[in-house]
Structure formats: C-alpha cells, structure tokens
Amino acid sequence: MTSFGCCPLSMQLFAFGVIALFLVYKWVTGTFDFFAKRNISFERPIPLFGNLGGIVFGKQTVLDVARRLYTKYKSQKYYGTFNLRTPILTIADLGLIKQIGVKDFASFPNHRSFIEPEDHVLLATSLFFLKDQRWKDMRTTLSPAFTGNKLRQMLPLISKCCLNGSDYLWEKTSRDDGMELDINDFFIRYTVDVMASTAFGVEINSLKNVDNDFYRIARQIMPVSLWATIRIFLCLSCRKLMRFLKVSIIDESFLNYFKKLVLNTISIRSQEGIVRHDMINLLMQAQEEYTEPKISGFDSNLEHPAVDESKSDLNPVNSKWSDDEIVAQCFMFLAGGFGPTSSTMSFCAHEIMAHPDVQQKLLAEIDKTRESLNGNPITYGDLEKMKYLDMVISETLRKWPTNVTTERVCSRNYQIENVDTGDRVDLEPGQNVEIPIAGLHYDPEYWTDPENFDPERFNDENKKDIKPFTYLPFGVGPRNCIGSRFALIMMKASLYHLLSEFTLQESSKTQIPLTLVPLGIQYTSKGGFWMKIKPRNI
C-alpha cells in the first residue's frame, strides 16, 4: 500500500484542504452549543454569520430580525441570539431589563468590546467603547457639553444651518409646483453641517458646496454598499486576519483627514485664544481640568440622565487625555450623530407627509410659536415648550428606532432567574446580554396598534401610562446615549424651520408604505424618502 507521504501532491493538498475546512468549521461553530447547554431557547445560527446572515447579504434589516426574534421568544423572558460567533443572552422581561440596565449596573458597566486600538484607535478609545473608570472619567468630561446651558449656546449655530437649508429650498422651489426631492439627502447634508459647526468650528454649507471635503469624508462613516457591510462583519469576526491583511473598517484617508482637522483646530485656537461654544473647546479645557457633574437618577422610560448643571466651572480631577482620545471623542460625536439623526428626521418627515392630520396639528403649533416670537429667533426654551413637536419626534423614535438593540457585558458572576419557571442562568465575566429595543417598541402588549404612527401616545394624558422600559430610543441606564438631548434639539430646530415655510406633500416617487432595505448595520427606505416640498401661503 502506498504511504501518505508518497501520495501525489494534489492528494496531499486535497487532504490538507479538507482538514483546514474542518478546523475552520469547528472554529466558526464552536460557540453554537452555548445556549443548548444552558437549556435556553435560541434560533439555529448560520456558520460564521450567526443570526445575522440575512443582514450581511442584504436580505433582511436589523429591524426585521430584532422584531422577529423578540416576537418568537418573548414569552420566555430571555432567549439566545448569535452575533456572528458571539452568543448573546437577549432579555425580554421588563423587570430583568430594569435589574440589569439600572439596579445592577455595576455588574454590566460596559459595551461589548469588538474593536481594539490596533484595529481602529478612533473607535476603540471613543466613549462608546471605553470601559469602567476610563469610561466614567470621559463621560464626566463630556457631560457638560450636553447640558441645557450648552445647548442654548449651540442653538444659534444649529439655527444658522437650518436657515441655510431654507434658503436652499427657496432657491430651488417653484412657488406653484413645489420641489420634488429625496429629503434624506437634504437632512444628511444639514446634519453634517451642524456637526461640523457645533463640534469642530467648521462653517460649511453642504447644500450649496455639495462636494466639500468635510461632507465627502463624513459620508465614509455610513456603509452604503454590500462590500462595505461585508468588510465590517469580516473586521469584527476575523480581527487578526483583517489586521494582517491591513483591512480597516474605515479608510485610512478618512482617519488622517479627521485627526489633522481636530488637532489643527486645537492648535490654532490655543495660539490665537479663540473660544467657541463647541465640543473641541470643551475637550481643550479637559486637557487641564474638568468637573465631575453628578449623574443622578433618571426616568428610564422617557427621560435622559439628569446632570447637575449647578457646577458650571471646571474643577480639577486627576486625569489627562491624549491627542488620540480627544480626536476619538470628536469622531464619536460625528459618527454617532449625523447618520442616526438624519435617518430619524427622514422617517419623521415621511410620517408627517403621510399623515395630513398630524402635519396640520404641527403647523398650527409652529405658527402659534412664530406669532409669539414677534420676529425674534427661536430659542431653546421655545422649542422645549412645543409639546406636539416633541410628541411627533417621540413617536418617530418609537416606530423607527436608530438602535434596535443595546448590549452590555457581564463583569462579575451573576445569576438571572426566571420567576415563572424557576430556571436560572449563571453568567460569567465576559458574557454578553442584550436588550431588544425594537421588539419592545412594537410589542402590542405595550402599544396599541404598534404599526400605526400615532403621536398621541405621548400626550400628557397617555404618556404617564407608558410602562417603564418599553420605550428606550436612547438606551437604558447610565450608559444611555450622552448626546440624546443634542439630537432632540437638532431635530426640533430643523423641523420647526422647515415647516415654518414649507409643507410636505406626496410626489410621483413617494412610497407609502415604506419598503425597508439594509444600510450596513442600520436600515433605510428602499429608493429614498421622496416627497414634494411646497412653499406655504402664509
């Protein structure tokens, strides 16, 4: 009999190939028995992609997947999902969500870490991915940027971008016929302009200067192609291989441009003594000293973390931030802001256009506010008083959440008990849990006719009946979105200025109802958000 060593080279290569494929298969499926061993219900995962295969290849959206899994397993209070190879325990019970997200926050203080500094320094050292005390210090540093006082100072910068948008529409719109446009592109450009102004002190007008450097580079953050989506998933699931191949989630030219922009701005301001009410100014102050505002209790249902604004001066705390960490926070502000915010405004505009009764109520409130201003600019306080505008945005965030889930990592041994069955789950440090925001937002047990767009859910009478932890557009607990108040005021200002002068109407390209398609790890409307913008006769 011929020995293996004497086999033709092709046979040896075939054998090695079979062994390699077997080892790869064992690796990609090595975690797939995690929930079966613990007697936890789960949907059978696909090798390498887990439960996200449909998303990666553009067959399903994250909203579809999150809602479907929640509906399928909700009655069991918790269930298993696989994010690529990573097993994640998804919590569907409101009591457990409160326990993990708030009461036992010390046991779940961090987000899942799938980015290391050697992979992407601007992501790894941003607030979202920082851990434990380093996260707490940075959250403390950044919190003053989002207090009511700071937002009041930023509003004129935001309003200027809104007025640029109105001027653009007046130039392009025919008073008789109106202007047909994909309003998503309009909002993306507006949001990029706001981010450039309020974070970096860069004055641009992306509606007129359509291909400016800041806008062109910022768009690279949002993956819009199948390859971009696959590249992200490969970088997350095969980090060492992608690092060896020098494949990055975001192009190096973007990183270099961004870092140069921030550090040059800091250098010029330091040399010339320039003070501007934006994030870079706050981070410059934090280089030497900052205060520790009290992050107190919060209403996890509708409100956001309460910050002690009585401490307006920056007092010393023992911490120092590197240039990379400062640039990372600016990157986080841009990446976490313009994509989700512009998407929410696009969905909101669509719902306003598709529901004429909602639009008429909103126009009436806007006109009443304008009349009370007597020609003066809108203020932060004026926007906060507009209850129906807040209701419309709140309902948009319920129906079209930008984050369909939020996750945490267990930091110490922890036990979860199902009081109905008596079953227990023992979690160890490093294991992941997830809260299914989209599932909660569409649960008919908590929301009557959840597919319907109904801002009245959030009026004064109905709002008090919303069950805590069923409405989580900005996350839950101390690690919820730090920029939620900024995003809300930016959306309110934009809609106020837009609807003060224009109405939103169906066009020949309008799609009702919307058909969703994946946009990387987000989702959007297939074919855009087309509508007619028509000047108001006021």
One-character DSSP codes across 73-94 = HGGGSEEEEEETTEEEEEE--H
Q: In the predicted model, what is the mean pLDDT of the chain?
A: 85
What's the pLDDT score for residue 118? 65
pLDDT at 319: 55
Give the pLDDT score at 426. Answer: 93
The confidence band for 293, taking pLDDT boundaries of 50, 70 and 90, is very low
pLDDT recorded at residue 289: 53
Q: Tokens representing 29? A: 């499926």
Find the range with the poorest average confidence among 82-86, 253-257, 410-414, 462-466: 253-257
Distance of alpha carbon 494 from alpha carbon 183, whole angstroms = 12
Residue 470 — very low, low, confident or very high, per pLDDT cuts 50/70/90? very high
DSSP 277: S
pLDDT of 314 = 35
pLDDT of residue 239: 66
CA distance 294 to 140: 8
pLDDT at 223: 58
The model's pLDDT over 54-80, given as tens digits with 9 standing for 90+, comes to 887 778 899 999 999 999 999 999 999
Q: Which two tokens stand for residue 228?
A: 């971009």
Give the C-alpha separation, 157 to 172, whole Å.
23
Tell me what pLDDT residue 235 has. Answer: 65
Quick one: pLDDT at residue 271? Answer: 86
Crossing angle between the packed helical segments 356-373 and 323-354, to the nearest 10 degrees:
120
pLDDT category at 308 given cuts 50, 70, 90 is very low
Average pLDDT of span 231-250: 66
- Residue 525, strand partner residues: 516
Pick 271 or 530 by higher pLDDT. Answer: 530
Task: Kindly tell me if the per-residue pLDDT of 204 is higher than 80.
Answer: yes
DSSP code of residue 178? -
Binding residues for heme: 481
Q: Cβ(300)–Cβ(102) under 8 Å?
A: yes
Residue 231: per-residue pLDDT: 67
Lowest mean pLDDT among 48-52, 425-429, 488-492: 48-52
Instruction: Kindly report, residue by residue over 509-525, the tens digit of the pLDDT.
Output: 999 999 998 877 789 99
Distance CA 305, CA 300 (A): 8
What are the structure tokens assigned to 449, written together?
């006719």
Three-state DSSP class for residue 534:
strand
DSSP symbol at 103: I
Is the predicted pLDDT of residue 350 greater than 60, yes or no? Answer: yes
444 has a pLDDT exceeding 90: yes
C-beta atoms surrounding 313 within 10 Å: 9
Evaluate whether 143 touches 309 at the Cβ level (below 8 Å).
no
CA distance 331 to 508: 38
Q: Which residues pair with 408 in a beta bridge?
A: 433
CATH number of 31-535: 1.10.630.10
Distance CA 190, CA 161 (A): 7
Least confident of 210-219, 410-419, 443-452: 210-219
pLDDT on residue 175: 64
Q: Would you state the pLDDT for residue 1? A: 47
pLDDT tens digits, residue range 123-159? 778 888 889 998 998 898 888 888 888 889 889 999 9
Structure confidence at residue 290 (pLDDT): 45
What is the per-residue DSSP string for 242-274? HHHTT--SS-HHHHHHHHHHHHHHHHHHHHHT-
Domain spans in the chain, listed from the N-terminal domain onward: 1-30, 31-535
Which amino acids are annotated as binding site, given as ranges? Answer: 481
**Stronger pLDDT, 247 or 306, i.e. the higher one:** 247
